[in-house]
Structure 1
Amino acid sequence: MGSTNDTLHPDFILLGLSSDPGQQKLLFVIFLALYIVGILGNLLIVLLILFDAHLHTPMYFFVGHLSLVDACFTSVTVPKMLANLVSEASTISYAGCLTQMYFFFAFGVTDSFLLASMAYDRYVAIRSPLHYTIMMSHSLCVGFVASSWIVSHLHSLLHIILMSRLSFCRSREIPHFFCDHQPVLGLSCTDTSLIEMLIFTEGSLVVLSPFVFIVISYALILATVLRLPSGSGWHKAFSTCGAHLSVVLLFYGTVIGVYFQPTARYSAEKGRVTTIMYTVVIPMLNPFIYSLRNDDVKGAIRRTLCRKVGTQ
Protein backbone atom coordinates (compact mmCIF):
# COMPACT_ATOMS: atom_id res chain seq x y z
CA MET A 1 0.00 0.00 0.00
CA GLY A 2 2.80 2.40 0.87
CA SER A 3 4.51 1.73 -2.45
CA THR A 4 1.31 2.45 -4.34
CA ASN A 5 0.79 5.73 -2.51
CA ASP A 6 4.34 6.80 -3.30
CA THR A 7 3.67 6.01 -6.95
CA LEU A 8 0.43 7.96 -7.06
CA HIS A 9 1.48 10.87 -4.82
CA PRO A 10 5.26 11.32 -4.93
CA ASP A 11 7.30 14.28 -3.86
CA PHE A 12 8.90 15.87 -6.91
CA ILE A 13 12.39 17.24 -7.34
CA LEU A 14 12.64 20.58 -9.14
CA LEU A 15 15.91 20.66 -11.10
CA GLY A 16 15.71 24.45 -11.36
CA LEU A 17 17.75 26.64 -13.67
CA SER A 18 21.24 25.40 -12.86
CA SER A 19 23.05 22.83 -10.73
CA ASP A 20 26.24 24.92 -10.55
CA PRO A 21 26.54 26.47 -7.02
CA GLY A 22 28.26 29.56 -8.41
CA GLN A 23 25.54 30.14 -10.99
CA GLN A 24 22.85 29.49 -8.38
CA LYS A 25 24.13 32.33 -6.18
CA LEU A 26 24.21 34.71 -9.14
CA LEU A 27 20.76 33.63 -10.28
CA PHE A 28 19.42 34.09 -6.75
CA VAL A 29 20.62 37.71 -6.65
CA ILE A 30 19.29 38.48 -10.14
CA PHE A 31 15.84 36.96 -9.65
CA LEU A 32 15.46 38.30 -6.13
CA ALA A 33 16.10 41.81 -7.49
CA LEU A 34 13.65 41.29 -10.36
CA TYR A 35 11.04 39.89 -7.98
CA ILE A 36 11.33 42.76 -5.49
CA VAL A 37 11.15 45.38 -8.26
CA GLY A 38 8.13 43.63 -9.80
CA ILE A 39 6.24 43.26 -6.52
CA LEU A 40 6.92 46.81 -5.35
CA GLY A 41 6.09 48.29 -8.76
CA ASN A 42 2.80 46.42 -9.08
CA LEU A 43 1.73 47.10 -5.50
CA LEU A 44 2.58 50.78 -5.94
CA ILE A 45 0.25 50.93 -8.95
CA VAL A 46 -2.53 49.16 -7.04
CA LEU A 47 -2.26 51.54 -4.08
CA LEU A 48 -2.09 54.67 -6.25
CA ILE A 49 -5.19 53.65 -8.20
CA LEU A 50 -6.99 52.71 -5.00
CA PHE A 51 -6.34 55.96 -3.12
CA ASP A 52 -6.06 58.62 -5.86
CA ALA A 53 -9.46 59.76 -7.16
CA HIS A 54 -7.92 61.05 -10.40
CA LEU A 55 -7.16 57.45 -11.38
CA HIS A 56 -10.69 56.16 -10.80
CA THR A 57 -11.30 55.63 -14.52
CA PRO A 58 -12.09 52.47 -16.52
CA MET A 59 -8.57 52.23 -17.94
CA TYR A 60 -6.90 52.37 -14.52
CA PHE A 61 -9.52 50.05 -13.09
CA PHE A 62 -8.20 47.39 -15.47
CA VAL A 63 -4.57 48.40 -14.92
CA GLY A 64 -5.02 48.05 -11.15
CA HIS A 65 -6.41 44.54 -11.48
CA LEU A 66 -3.67 43.62 -13.96
CA SER A 67 -1.02 44.80 -11.50
CA LEU A 68 -2.62 42.79 -8.71
CA VAL A 69 -2.75 39.66 -10.88
CA ASP A 70 0.87 40.18 -12.00
CA ALA A 71 2.02 40.40 -8.38
CA CYS A 72 0.16 37.17 -7.59
CA PHE A 73 1.27 35.46 -10.80
CA THR A 74 4.98 35.98 -10.21
CA SER A 75 4.58 35.04 -6.52
CA VAL A 76 3.29 31.59 -7.49
CA THR A 77 6.67 30.48 -8.86
CA VAL A 78 9.50 32.86 -7.94
CA PRO A 79 9.63 32.44 -4.11
CA LYS A 80 9.90 28.66 -4.46
CA MET A 81 12.55 29.08 -7.14
CA LEU A 82 14.55 31.43 -4.89
CA ALA A 83 14.27 29.03 -1.96
CA ASN A 84 15.54 26.15 -4.10
CA LEU A 85 18.50 28.21 -5.33
CA VAL A 86 19.81 28.55 -1.76
CA SER A 87 18.70 25.15 -0.47
CA GLU A 88 20.14 21.71 -0.96
CA ALA A 89 16.64 20.21 -0.94
CA SER A 90 14.69 21.19 -4.07
CA THR A 91 11.64 19.05 -3.48
CA ILE A 92 7.99 19.98 -3.71
CA SER A 93 5.15 17.83 -2.42
CA TYR A 94 2.48 16.37 -4.65
CA ALA A 95 -0.16 18.65 -3.11
CA GLY A 96 2.18 21.63 -3.35
CA CYS A 97 2.81 20.85 -7.01
CA LEU A 98 -0.89 20.75 -7.87
CA THR A 99 -1.53 23.92 -5.85
CA GLN A 100 1.25 25.76 -7.64
CA MET A 101 -0.04 24.52 -10.99
CA TYR A 102 -3.61 25.59 -10.15
CA PHE A 103 -2.75 29.20 -9.31
CA PHE A 104 -0.26 29.41 -12.18
CA PHE A 105 -3.06 28.52 -14.62
CA ALA A 106 -5.60 30.74 -12.87
CA PHE A 107 -3.52 33.92 -12.71
CA GLY A 108 -2.08 33.39 -16.19
CA VAL A 109 -5.53 33.11 -17.80
CA THR A 110 -6.84 36.04 -15.73
CA ASP A 111 -3.94 38.10 -17.10
CA SER A 112 -4.96 37.10 -20.61
CA PHE A 113 -8.61 38.14 -20.19
CA LEU A 114 -7.63 41.43 -18.56
CA LEU A 115 -5.41 42.24 -21.54
CA ALA A 116 -8.43 41.63 -23.77
CA SER A 117 -10.57 43.94 -21.60
CA MET A 118 -7.91 46.64 -21.87
CA ALA A 119 -7.85 46.28 -25.66
CA TYR A 120 -11.61 46.89 -25.78
CA ASP A 121 -11.20 49.87 -23.46
CA ARG A 122 -8.60 51.38 -25.81
CA TYR A 123 -10.87 50.75 -28.81
CA VAL A 124 -13.78 52.58 -27.20
CA ALA A 125 -11.51 55.45 -26.10
CA ILE A 126 -10.27 55.98 -29.67
CA ARG A 127 -13.43 55.09 -31.58
CA SER A 128 -15.97 56.96 -29.40
CA PRO A 129 -14.14 59.38 -27.08
CA LEU A 130 -17.26 61.49 -26.46
CA HIS A 131 -19.26 58.47 -25.31
CA TYR A 132 -16.38 56.74 -23.53
CA THR A 133 -17.63 57.18 -19.96
CA ILE A 134 -21.11 55.99 -20.91
CA MET A 135 -19.99 52.95 -22.90
CA MET A 136 -17.34 51.93 -20.37
CA SER A 137 -19.71 52.02 -17.40
CA HIS A 138 -18.65 50.83 -13.97
CA SER A 139 -20.95 47.81 -14.19
CA LEU A 140 -19.44 46.77 -17.53
CA CYS A 141 -15.89 47.07 -16.15
CA VAL A 142 -16.81 45.03 -13.07
CA GLY A 143 -18.42 42.44 -15.34
CA PHE A 144 -15.27 42.16 -17.45
CA VAL A 145 -13.05 41.73 -14.39
CA ALA A 146 -15.39 39.29 -12.63
CA SER A 147 -15.67 37.18 -15.78
CA SER A 148 -11.88 37.12 -16.07
CA TRP A 149 -11.49 35.74 -12.55
CA ILE A 150 -14.37 33.24 -12.80
CA VAL A 151 -13.47 31.76 -16.19
CA SER A 152 -9.78 31.46 -15.30
CA HIS A 153 -10.45 29.60 -12.05
CA LEU A 154 -12.94 27.24 -13.67
CA HIS A 155 -10.40 26.55 -16.42
CA SER A 156 -7.68 25.91 -13.84
CA LEU A 157 -9.91 23.66 -11.74
CA LEU A 158 -10.73 21.50 -14.75
CA HIS A 159 -7.05 20.99 -15.58
CA ILE A 160 -6.07 20.23 -11.99
CA ILE A 161 -8.85 17.66 -11.58
CA LEU A 162 -7.48 15.78 -14.60
CA MET A 163 -3.85 16.19 -13.48
CA SER A 164 -4.73 14.81 -10.04
CA ARG A 165 -5.86 11.54 -11.64
CA LEU A 166 -2.38 10.80 -12.98
CA SER A 167 0.02 8.32 -11.40
CA PHE A 168 3.80 8.49 -11.57
CA CYS A 169 6.19 5.58 -11.84
CA ARG A 170 9.15 7.17 -13.57
CA SER A 171 11.72 9.69 -12.43
CA ARG A 172 10.51 12.27 -9.92
CA GLU A 173 12.80 14.94 -11.37
CA ILE A 174 11.01 17.86 -13.02
CA PRO A 175 13.35 19.68 -15.45
CA HIS A 176 11.96 23.06 -14.52
CA PHE A 177 11.97 25.61 -11.68
CA PHE A 178 8.26 25.08 -10.92
CA CYS A 179 5.49 22.54 -11.50
CA ASP A 180 4.55 23.29 -15.07
CA HIS A 181 2.12 20.83 -16.59
CA GLN A 182 4.20 19.84 -19.65
CA PRO A 183 7.21 18.42 -17.74
CA VAL A 184 4.90 16.86 -15.12
CA LEU A 185 2.93 15.10 -17.86
CA GLY A 186 6.21 13.73 -19.17
CA LEU A 187 6.79 11.92 -15.84
CA SER A 188 3.42 10.20 -15.73
CA CYS A 189 2.98 6.51 -16.50
CA THR A 190 -0.74 7.15 -17.06
CA ASP A 191 -2.17 7.77 -20.52
CA THR A 192 -2.07 11.57 -20.90
CA SER A 193 -3.83 11.77 -24.28
CA LEU A 194 -7.05 13.14 -22.73
CA ILE A 195 -5.24 15.96 -20.94
CA GLU A 196 -3.21 16.80 -24.03
CA MET A 197 -6.39 16.89 -26.12
CA LEU A 198 -7.95 19.19 -23.50
CA ILE A 199 -4.95 21.52 -23.72
CA PHE A 200 -5.33 21.80 -27.48
CA THR A 201 -9.13 22.25 -27.40
CA GLU A 202 -10.49 23.85 -24.23
CA GLY A 203 -7.10 25.36 -23.42
CA SER A 204 -6.82 26.85 -26.90
CA LEU A 205 -10.33 28.28 -26.63
CA VAL A 206 -9.75 29.88 -23.22
CA VAL A 207 -6.26 31.21 -23.94
CA LEU A 208 -6.55 32.13 -27.61
CA SER A 209 -10.05 33.64 -27.59
CA PRO A 210 -8.82 36.75 -25.69
CA PHE A 211 -5.93 36.98 -28.17
CA VAL A 212 -8.34 36.87 -31.12
CA PHE A 213 -10.48 39.52 -29.41
CA ILE A 214 -7.38 41.70 -28.97
CA VAL A 215 -6.43 41.29 -32.65
CA ILE A 216 -9.95 42.30 -33.73
CA SER A 217 -9.92 45.28 -31.36
CA TYR A 218 -6.61 46.52 -32.76
CA ALA A 219 -7.76 45.99 -36.33
CA LEU A 220 -10.73 48.26 -35.58
CA ILE A 221 -8.42 50.71 -33.80
CA LEU A 222 -6.13 50.81 -36.84
CA ALA A 223 -9.08 51.40 -39.15
CA THR A 224 -10.23 54.26 -36.91
CA VAL A 225 -6.75 55.80 -36.67
CA LEU A 226 -6.29 55.76 -40.44
CA ARG A 227 -9.43 57.90 -40.76
CA LEU A 228 -8.12 60.55 -38.36
CA PRO A 229 -7.40 63.83 -40.18
CA SER A 230 -4.23 64.88 -38.36
CA GLY A 231 -0.84 63.33 -37.73
CA SER A 232 -1.05 64.40 -34.10
CA GLY A 233 -4.15 62.27 -33.70
CA TRP A 234 -2.25 59.29 -35.08
CA HIS A 235 0.63 59.86 -32.69
CA LYS A 236 -1.68 60.10 -29.69
CA ALA A 237 -3.54 56.93 -30.64
CA PHE A 238 -0.40 54.88 -31.23
CA SER A 239 1.24 56.15 -28.03
CA THR A 240 -1.89 55.10 -26.14
CA CYS A 241 -1.91 51.57 -27.58
CA GLY A 242 1.75 50.86 -28.36
CA ALA A 243 2.80 49.72 -24.90
CA HIS A 244 -0.22 47.47 -24.48
CA LEU A 245 0.27 45.90 -27.90
CA SER A 246 3.96 45.18 -27.31
CA VAL A 247 3.23 43.39 -24.04
CA VAL A 248 0.40 41.43 -25.66
CA LEU A 249 2.69 40.17 -28.42
CA LEU A 250 5.43 39.25 -25.96
CA PHE A 251 3.02 37.51 -23.58
CA TYR A 252 1.17 35.48 -26.19
CA GLY A 253 4.28 34.75 -28.22
CA THR A 254 5.93 32.98 -25.29
CA VAL A 255 2.74 31.24 -24.09
CA ILE A 256 1.85 29.83 -27.51
CA GLY A 257 5.46 28.78 -28.15
CA VAL A 258 5.61 26.71 -24.96
CA TYR A 259 2.16 25.25 -24.34
CA PHE A 260 0.54 24.61 -27.70
CA GLN A 261 2.72 21.71 -28.74
CA PRO A 262 2.65 17.95 -27.98
CA THR A 263 4.35 16.82 -24.77
CA ALA A 264 6.74 14.66 -26.81
CA ARG A 265 8.12 17.79 -28.50
CA TYR A 266 8.47 19.74 -25.26
CA SER A 267 11.98 21.16 -24.75
CA ALA A 268 12.94 21.62 -21.10
CA GLU A 269 15.58 24.25 -21.88
CA LYS A 270 13.28 26.24 -24.14
CA GLY A 271 10.47 25.93 -21.60
CA ARG A 272 12.58 27.34 -18.78
CA VAL A 273 13.80 30.32 -20.80
CA THR A 274 10.42 31.33 -22.18
CA THR A 275 8.55 30.88 -18.90
CA ILE A 276 11.05 33.17 -17.20
CA MET A 277 9.90 35.84 -19.64
CA TYR A 278 6.23 35.79 -18.69
CA THR A 279 6.52 34.70 -15.04
CA VAL A 280 9.30 37.08 -14.00
CA VAL A 281 10.28 39.65 -16.64
CA ILE A 282 6.89 40.73 -18.03
CA PRO A 283 5.20 41.18 -14.59
CA MET A 284 8.22 43.26 -13.56
CA LEU A 285 8.07 45.44 -16.69
CA ASN A 286 4.30 45.97 -16.79
CA PRO A 287 4.18 48.71 -14.11
CA PHE A 288 6.78 50.70 -16.05
CA ILE A 289 5.25 50.09 -19.47
CA TYR A 290 1.63 50.74 -18.54
CA SER A 291 1.75 53.18 -15.71
CA LEU A 292 4.94 54.62 -14.27
CA ARG A 293 5.75 56.40 -17.57
CA ASN A 294 2.20 57.77 -17.72
CA ASP A 295 1.60 61.42 -16.85
CA ASP A 296 -1.54 60.56 -14.85
CA VAL A 297 0.39 58.13 -12.65
CA LYS A 298 3.30 60.53 -12.27
CA GLY A 299 0.82 63.17 -11.14
CA ALA A 300 -0.67 60.71 -8.63
CA ILE A 301 2.80 60.00 -7.23
CA ARG A 302 3.50 63.73 -6.88
CA ARG A 303 0.18 64.33 -5.14
CA THR A 304 0.82 61.42 -2.78
CA LEU A 305 4.31 62.73 -1.93
CA CYS A 306 2.97 66.25 -1.42
CA ARG A 307 0.29 64.98 0.96
CA LYS A 308 2.92 62.98 2.82
CA VAL A 309 5.22 66.01 3.15
CA GLY A 310 2.30 68.27 4.11
CA THR A 311 1.35 66.02 7.04
CA GLN A 312 4.85 66.07 8.50
Structure 2
Amino acid sequence: MIALLPTALLATACAFRPWTPSVSVAYWSEDVPQKRVLLLPSFAALASRWQLPPQSPWARYGKLTLLASINGASGTRELPDVDALEVVGAAERAATRLAAVGAPPDTMWIVDLRGAASVAFGAALSARAQVPVAPVLTFNNWPAPNELVPAEETLAALITRAPKLPAPNEPSARPVFLLDAWRLAYRFDRPDDGVVDNRYALVPTDFPAPDALATQGVRRVVYVVEDLDETDQEEEDLHHVLRAYWDAGIAVHLVDLAWLEALAAPIDWPARLGAHVLKVPPRRTLLDDPSFYARARGGFGGTHAGPSPFKAGSIIHGGSGYGGGFGG
Protein backbone atom coordinates (compact mmCIF):
# COMPACT_ATOMS: atom_id res chain seq x y z
CA MET A 1 0.00 0.00 0.00
CA ILE A 2 1.29 3.46 -0.90
CA ALA A 3 1.14 5.92 1.96
CA LEU A 4 -1.54 8.59 1.66
CA LEU A 5 -0.38 12.00 2.81
CA PRO A 6 -2.35 15.10 3.77
CA THR A 7 -2.86 17.35 0.75
CA ALA A 8 -0.68 20.13 2.15
CA LEU A 9 2.19 17.74 2.80
CA LEU A 10 1.89 16.20 -0.64
CA ALA A 11 2.00 19.65 -2.22
CA THR A 12 5.15 20.38 -0.26
CA ALA A 13 6.67 17.10 -1.41
CA CYS A 14 6.01 17.96 -5.05
CA ALA A 15 7.99 21.17 -4.56
CA PHE A 16 11.17 19.34 -3.58
CA ARG A 17 13.91 19.43 -6.20
CA PRO A 18 15.79 17.53 -7.24
CA TRP A 19 13.80 14.34 -6.81
CA THR A 20 16.26 12.03 -5.09
CA PRO A 21 15.69 8.61 -3.48
CA SER A 22 15.04 10.16 -0.05
CA VAL A 23 12.20 12.28 -1.45
CA SER A 24 10.65 9.25 -3.13
CA VAL A 25 10.82 7.04 -0.06
CA ALA A 26 9.45 9.75 2.24
CA TYR A 27 6.43 10.74 0.20
CA TRP A 28 5.47 7.97 -2.22
CA SER A 29 6.65 4.70 -0.72
CA GLU A 30 4.83 1.89 1.03
CA ASP A 31 3.93 2.07 4.70
CA VAL A 32 6.27 0.59 7.26
CA PRO A 33 4.97 -3.00 7.47
CA GLN A 34 3.49 -4.67 10.52
CA LYS A 35 5.94 -6.33 12.87
CA ARG A 36 6.66 -9.99 13.40
CA VAL A 37 8.74 -11.81 15.99
CA LEU A 38 12.29 -12.61 14.91
CA LEU A 39 14.95 -14.63 16.70
CA LEU A 40 17.96 -12.40 17.20
CA PRO A 41 21.37 -13.75 16.23
CA SER A 42 24.37 -12.66 18.22
CA PHE A 43 26.20 -9.59 17.02
CA ALA A 44 29.23 -11.76 16.25
CA ALA A 45 27.16 -14.13 14.11
CA LEU A 46 25.45 -11.32 12.23
CA ALA A 47 28.70 -9.46 11.67
CA SER A 48 30.42 -12.58 10.33
CA ARG A 49 27.50 -13.04 7.94
CA TRP A 50 27.89 -9.57 6.39
CA GLN A 51 31.46 -8.41 7.01
CA LEU A 52 33.78 -8.71 4.03
CA PRO A 53 37.13 -10.48 4.48
CA PRO A 54 39.79 -7.98 5.56
CA GLN A 55 41.78 -8.81 2.42
CA SER A 56 39.00 -7.38 0.24
CA PRO A 57 39.81 -3.95 -1.21
CA TRP A 58 36.22 -2.99 -0.36
CA ALA A 59 36.26 -4.13 3.29
CA ARG A 60 37.41 -0.76 4.63
CA TYR A 61 34.18 0.89 3.48
CA GLY A 62 31.79 -1.46 5.28
CA LYS A 63 29.92 -0.22 8.37
CA LEU A 64 28.69 -2.46 11.19
CA THR A 65 26.88 0.35 13.05
CA LEU A 66 23.35 -0.97 12.54
CA LEU A 67 24.41 -4.55 13.23
CA ALA A 68 25.95 -3.41 16.51
CA SER A 69 22.53 -2.25 17.73
CA ILE A 70 21.80 -5.87 18.73
CA ASN A 71 25.07 -6.28 20.60
CA GLY A 72 24.27 -7.75 24.00
CA ALA A 73 20.67 -8.53 23.05
CA SER A 74 19.28 -12.06 22.99
CA GLY A 75 16.05 -13.92 22.50
CA THR A 76 13.43 -12.45 20.20
CA ARG A 77 12.38 -9.01 19.04
CA GLU A 78 9.44 -7.64 17.10
CA LEU A 79 10.72 -6.13 13.85
CA PRO A 80 9.00 -5.04 10.62
CA ASP A 81 7.98 -7.87 8.29
CA VAL A 82 10.03 -6.65 5.33
CA ASP A 83 8.87 -9.56 3.16
CA ALA A 84 5.55 -7.70 2.96
CA LEU A 85 7.19 -4.77 1.13
CA GLU A 86 6.65 -4.87 -2.63
CA VAL A 87 9.95 -3.09 -3.22
CA VAL A 88 11.84 -5.88 -1.45
CA GLY A 89 10.43 -8.41 -3.91
CA ALA A 90 11.18 -6.08 -6.81
CA ALA A 91 14.77 -5.68 -5.62
CA GLU A 92 15.25 -9.43 -5.38
CA ARG A 93 13.83 -9.98 -8.87
CA ALA A 94 16.06 -7.26 -10.33
CA ALA A 95 19.15 -8.69 -8.65
CA THR A 96 18.27 -12.20 -9.80
CA ARG A 97 17.94 -11.01 -13.39
CA LEU A 98 21.23 -9.12 -13.20
CA ALA A 99 22.93 -12.24 -11.87
CA ALA A 100 21.46 -14.32 -14.68
CA VAL A 101 22.61 -12.05 -17.51
CA GLY A 102 25.98 -11.32 -15.90
CA ALA A 103 27.10 -7.99 -14.47
CA PRO A 104 29.90 -6.17 -16.32
CA PRO A 105 33.35 -6.74 -14.82
CA ASP A 106 34.54 -3.12 -14.67
CA THR A 107 31.63 -1.70 -12.70
CA MET A 108 30.85 -0.58 -9.17
CA TRP A 109 27.19 -0.58 -8.12
CA ILE A 110 25.61 1.90 -5.71
CA VAL A 111 22.16 0.68 -4.68
CA ASP A 112 20.13 3.51 -3.12
CA LEU A 113 16.80 1.94 -2.19
CA ARG A 114 14.75 1.68 0.97
CA GLY A 115 17.25 -0.04 3.28
CA ALA A 116 15.49 -3.40 3.41
CA ALA A 117 15.31 -3.49 -0.39
CA SER A 118 19.00 -2.66 -0.74
CA VAL A 119 19.82 -5.52 1.62
CA ALA A 120 17.58 -7.87 -0.38
CA PHE A 121 19.27 -6.77 -3.62
CA GLY A 122 22.76 -7.35 -2.26
CA ALA A 123 21.94 -10.73 -0.76
CA ALA A 124 20.20 -11.99 -3.90
CA LEU A 125 22.88 -10.76 -6.30
CA SER A 126 25.77 -12.18 -4.29
CA ALA A 127 24.02 -15.53 -3.86
CA ARG A 128 23.10 -15.96 -7.54
CA ALA A 129 25.85 -14.22 -9.49
CA GLN A 130 28.26 -16.33 -11.52
CA VAL A 131 31.19 -14.22 -10.27
CA PRO A 132 32.11 -13.08 -6.74
CA VAL A 133 30.21 -10.06 -5.41
CA ALA A 134 31.28 -7.87 -2.49
CA PRO A 135 28.23 -6.32 -0.75
CA VAL A 136 29.28 -3.24 1.22
CA LEU A 137 27.03 -2.08 4.07
CA THR A 138 26.81 1.69 4.56
CA PHE A 139 24.03 1.77 7.20
CA ASN A 140 25.10 4.19 9.93
CA ASN A 141 22.17 4.57 12.35
CA TRP A 142 20.38 2.70 15.14
CA PRO A 143 16.73 1.86 15.79
CA ALA A 144 15.06 3.74 18.64
CA PRO A 145 11.60 4.25 20.13
CA ASN A 146 9.82 7.09 18.32
CA GLU A 147 12.52 7.12 15.66
CA LEU A 148 12.32 9.43 12.67
CA VAL A 149 13.26 6.93 9.94
CA PRO A 150 12.74 3.15 10.08
CA ALA A 151 16.17 1.70 10.79
CA GLU A 152 14.34 -1.36 12.15
CA GLU A 153 13.34 -2.27 8.59
CA THR A 154 16.93 -2.49 7.44
CA LEU A 155 17.93 -4.40 10.57
CA ALA A 156 15.14 -6.93 9.96
CA ALA A 157 16.39 -7.51 6.42
CA LEU A 158 19.97 -7.97 7.63
CA ILE A 159 18.75 -10.59 10.12
CA THR A 160 16.52 -12.50 7.70
CA ARG A 161 18.88 -12.54 4.72
CA ALA A 162 22.42 -13.71 4.11
CA PRO A 163 24.81 -12.84 1.28
CA LYS A 164 27.43 -15.07 -0.28
CA LEU A 165 30.66 -13.29 0.60
CA PRO A 166 33.73 -13.49 -1.63
CA ALA A 167 36.62 -15.67 -0.55
CA PRO A 168 39.56 -13.88 1.09
CA ASN A 169 41.66 -14.50 -2.03
CA GLU A 170 39.07 -12.90 -4.34
CA PRO A 171 40.16 -9.25 -4.59
CA SER A 172 38.34 -8.89 -7.92
CA ALA A 173 34.85 -9.32 -6.44
CA ARG A 174 32.36 -6.82 -7.90
CA PRO A 175 31.64 -4.07 -5.33
CA VAL A 176 27.97 -3.39 -4.55
CA PHE A 177 27.43 -0.56 -2.06
CA LEU A 178 24.12 -0.91 -0.20
CA LEU A 179 22.50 2.37 0.92
CA ASP A 180 19.33 3.27 2.80
CA ALA A 181 17.29 5.92 0.97
CA TRP A 182 15.65 6.84 4.30
CA ARG A 183 18.89 8.38 5.56
CA LEU A 184 18.10 11.92 4.35
CA ALA A 185 14.29 11.79 4.36
CA TYR A 186 12.18 14.79 5.45
CA ARG A 187 15.09 17.08 4.74
CA PHE A 188 13.13 20.33 5.08
CA ASP A 189 11.13 19.34 8.14
CA ARG A 190 11.82 19.90 11.82
CA PRO A 191 11.25 16.90 14.13
CA ASP A 192 9.00 17.45 17.13
CA ASP A 193 10.24 17.10 20.69
CA GLY A 194 10.74 13.50 21.73
CA VAL A 195 11.50 12.24 18.24
CA VAL A 196 14.87 10.56 17.80
CA ASP A 197 16.45 12.01 14.68
CA ASN A 198 18.29 8.95 13.41
CA ARG A 199 19.01 10.27 9.94
CA TYR A 200 22.57 10.50 8.72
CA ALA A 201 24.63 11.51 5.72
CA LEU A 202 27.38 9.62 3.97
CA VAL A 203 30.62 11.44 3.19
CA PRO A 204 33.12 11.07 0.33
CA THR A 205 35.47 8.93 2.42
CA ASP A 206 32.67 6.35 2.74
CA PHE A 207 33.32 5.50 -0.91
CA PRO A 208 36.46 4.65 -2.90
CA ALA A 209 38.30 7.62 -4.38
CA PRO A 210 38.63 7.67 -8.17
CA ASP A 211 42.22 6.44 -8.06
CA ALA A 212 41.19 3.52 -5.85
CA LEU A 213 38.57 2.53 -8.42
CA ALA A 214 41.12 2.81 -11.21
CA THR A 215 43.48 0.53 -9.30
CA GLN A 216 40.74 -2.11 -9.16
CA GLY A 217 39.88 -1.71 -12.84
CA VAL A 218 36.55 0.02 -12.27
CA ARG A 219 35.66 2.27 -15.19
CA ARG A 220 31.97 2.92 -14.55
CA VAL A 221 29.51 3.30 -11.70
CA VAL A 222 25.86 2.25 -11.92
CA TYR A 223 23.52 4.04 -9.51
CA VAL A 224 20.38 1.98 -8.83
CA VAL A 225 17.15 3.61 -7.59
CA GLU A 226 13.65 2.25 -7.14
CA ASP A 227 11.82 4.10 -9.91
CA LEU A 228 13.05 6.61 -12.49
CA ASP A 229 9.57 8.15 -12.56
CA GLU A 230 10.21 9.33 -8.99
CA THR A 231 13.97 9.97 -9.03
CA ASP A 232 15.88 12.18 -11.44
CA GLN A 233 19.11 12.94 -9.59
CA GLU A 234 21.65 11.46 -7.20
CA GLU A 235 21.08 11.83 -3.47
CA GLU A 236 22.47 14.98 -1.85
CA ASP A 237 25.29 13.26 0.02
CA LEU A 238 26.46 11.46 -3.12
CA HIS A 239 26.86 14.52 -5.30
CA HIS A 240 30.50 15.23 -4.51
CA VAL A 241 31.35 11.52 -4.75
CA LEU A 242 29.83 11.07 -8.19
CA ARG A 243 31.11 14.43 -9.37
CA ALA A 244 34.66 13.33 -8.50
CA TYR A 245 34.13 10.16 -10.52
CA TRP A 246 32.98 12.21 -13.50
CA ASP A 247 35.99 14.50 -13.24
CA ALA A 248 38.25 11.43 -13.25
CA GLY A 249 36.65 10.03 -16.40
CA ILE A 250 34.59 7.34 -14.63
CA ALA A 251 31.16 7.16 -16.25
CA VAL A 252 28.09 7.28 -14.00
CA HIS A 253 24.77 5.71 -15.01
CA LEU A 254 21.29 5.87 -13.44
CA VAL A 255 18.94 2.87 -13.70
CA ASP A 256 15.96 1.54 -11.77
CA LEU A 257 14.67 -1.86 -10.70
CA ALA A 258 12.29 -2.26 -13.63
CA TRP A 259 15.14 -1.65 -16.10
CA LEU A 260 17.26 -4.30 -14.42
CA GLU A 261 14.42 -6.81 -14.27
CA ALA A 262 13.84 -6.41 -18.02
CA LEU A 263 17.44 -7.22 -19.00
CA ALA A 264 17.95 -10.08 -21.43
CA ALA A 265 21.17 -11.75 -22.54
CA PRO A 266 23.31 -11.22 -24.47
CA ILE A 267 23.95 -7.63 -23.38
CA ASP A 268 26.13 -4.99 -24.94
CA TRP A 269 26.68 -3.18 -21.65
CA PRO A 270 28.29 -0.01 -23.03
CA ALA A 271 25.39 0.44 -25.45
CA ARG A 272 22.68 -0.33 -22.91
CA LEU A 273 24.16 1.89 -20.23
CA GLY A 274 24.96 4.62 -22.71
CA ALA A 275 21.28 5.54 -22.79
CA HIS A 276 21.27 5.98 -19.01
CA VAL A 277 24.10 8.39 -18.37
CA LEU A 278 23.68 10.42 -15.19
CA LYS A 279 25.15 13.86 -15.68
CA VAL A 280 26.57 15.34 -12.49
CA PRO A 281 27.12 19.07 -13.02
CA PRO A 282 28.32 21.12 -10.05
CA ARG A 283 25.46 22.15 -7.77
CA ARG A 284 24.80 23.24 -4.25
CA THR A 285 23.43 20.50 -2.04
CA LEU A 286 21.47 20.09 1.15
CA LEU A 287 24.69 19.46 3.05
CA ASP A 288 25.87 22.95 2.12
CA ASP A 289 22.81 24.47 3.84
CA PRO A 290 23.39 25.50 7.50
CA SER A 291 19.65 25.71 8.15
CA PHE A 292 19.33 21.96 7.55
CA TYR A 293 21.52 21.24 10.56
CA ALA A 294 19.63 23.82 12.61
CA ARG A 295 16.34 22.03 11.88
CA ALA A 296 17.75 18.60 12.75
CA ARG A 297 17.09 17.36 16.27
CA GLY A 298 20.22 17.43 18.42
CA GLY A 299 22.57 18.16 15.56
CA PHE A 300 22.04 16.09 12.45
CA GLY A 301 23.58 12.67 12.77
CA GLY A 302 24.52 13.23 16.39
CA THR A 303 22.07 10.66 17.75
CA HIS A 304 22.27 7.26 16.12
CA ALA A 305 19.17 5.48 16.35
CA GLY A 306 13.89 4.51 12.53
CA PRO A 307 8.94 4.33 11.64
CA SER A 308 8.04 7.06 9.26
CA PRO A 309 6.56 10.09 11.00
CA PHE A 310 3.88 10.55 8.37
CA LYS A 311 2.75 6.96 8.87
CA ALA A 312 2.97 6.93 12.66
CA GLY A 313 1.61 10.35 13.50
CA SER A 314 2.20 14.04 13.07
CA ILE A 315 5.63 14.39 14.61
CA ILE A 316 7.36 16.77 12.25
CA HIS A 317 6.60 20.25 11.01
CA GLY A 318 6.74 21.00 7.31
CA GLY A 319 9.50 23.23 6.02
CA SER A 320 10.46 24.62 2.67
CA GLY A 321 11.50 22.49 -0.27
CA TYR A 322 14.07 23.05 -2.95
CA GLY A 323 11.65 25.36 -4.65
CA GLY A 324 12.16 27.82 -1.78
CA GLY A 325 15.92 27.72 -2.00
CA PHE A 326 18.45 26.96 0.69
CA GLY A 327 18.38 28.63 4.05
CA GLY A 328 14.66 29.33 3.88
TM-score by length of 2: 0.28
**Greater CA radius of gyration, 1 or 2?**
1
Per residue, is there more strand in 1 or in 2?
2
| Larger RCO, structures 1/2 (Cα 8 Å, 6+ apart) | 1
TM-score by length of 1: 0.29
Per residue, is there more helix in 1 or in 2?
1
